[in-house]
Amino acid sequence: MFSKEWFIYVFGRWILLSGIAGASLQVLLRGQLGIPDFPAFLLNQLMLACVFWYVDKYIFQRHLGKVKELFRFPRIKGQFDTKREFDKISEEYNQLAEDFQKDPDHPQVWLHRFLDLYHSIDMMERVLRDRGIDVDREYNNILKDNRRRGLYE
């Protein structure tokens, strides 16, 4: 949590930008325009929210993109469990293997089946996350092991 990026965000965005902008705007609204304290504060917060909505959206664009990428497919209606999802993954894999064997060099022959398999894996991850399984921890363990083994560039 306390990364370099976090400190830059907290001190740069919140303390410097919001703090100075908020104080300056409060002085302007109260002192120059004569608006009473509480209404000036509310107006101050509204104006800052309108500006910093876009600032925060820009800052977190990279992070929000990762959240969007977590699940590529919409959630399927219904209640699912790991057994059902495992069976679905097996079924989709077998269909992909069959189509792949027809013509491995032409993805258009088996691409749809590949994406069906991806979708079933995506659903299994949702089921695991819904059950409170720490998928991210295991993902990071795999990355760490593979880096240690020299598998990545």
Q: What is the pLDDT of residue 91?
A: 97
- Alpha-carbon dihedral angle through residues 76, 119, 141, 66, given to the nearest 10 degrees: -80
Q: What is the pLDDT of residue 121?
A: 95
Q: What is the pLDDT of residue 20?
A: 86
Q: What is the pLDDT of residue 110?
A: 96
Name the nearest CA neighbour of 135 among 147, 144, 126, 123.
126
For the chain, the domains span 4-68, 75-148
3-state SS track over the chain: CCCHHHHHHHHHHHHHHHHHHHHHHHHHHHHHCCCCHHHHHHHHHHHHHHHHHHHHHHHCHHHHHHHHHHCCCCCCCCCCCHHHHHHHHHHHHHHHHHHHHHCCCCHHHHHHHHHHHHHHHHHHHHHHHHCCCCHHHHHHHHHHHHHHCCCCC
Q: What is the pLDDT of residue 66?
A: 55
Q: Dihedral sign for Cα 136, 142, 143, 145, please.
A: positive
Rounded to two decimals, the pTM is 0.55
Q: What is the pLDDT of residue 62?
A: 64
| Local mean pLDDT, 10-residue blocks, the chain (153 residues) | 73 80 89 90 88 77 58 81 96 97 96 96 92 91 95 90
